[in-house]
Amino acid sequence: MSVTVTAAAVLAHGAELAAGTVSNNDVTPGVLGFLVVAGMGVILYFLLRSMNRHLRKIPPPPPEDGEDGEDAPSVSASPAPRGNQAE
């Protein structure tokens, strides 16, 4: 129900702005607000592009013991025999 009330309030406010019945005492974001948000979007785009470029330069970590890797030696399932053990 709150979504319906919120949607009705937004539509009513939008209709008031579209009709041009806003008094001089009301505060609206205007063109400056749009330019600030659009500028932040452009800056964010270039920031993410730069971050991706820097992250691609980082080499992958070497495989650790126990991880499957192409260069890692194979590990057998049975334990390796040890030297002289007392039984």
Is the pLDDT assigned to residue 22 strictly greater than 80? no
pLDDT in tens, 23-78: 778 888 899 999 999 999 999 999 999 999 999 999 998 988 766 655 555 555 55
pLDDT higher at 25 or 16: 25
Q: What is the pTM of this model?
A: 0.44
Pair 63, 69: CB distance under 8 Å: yes
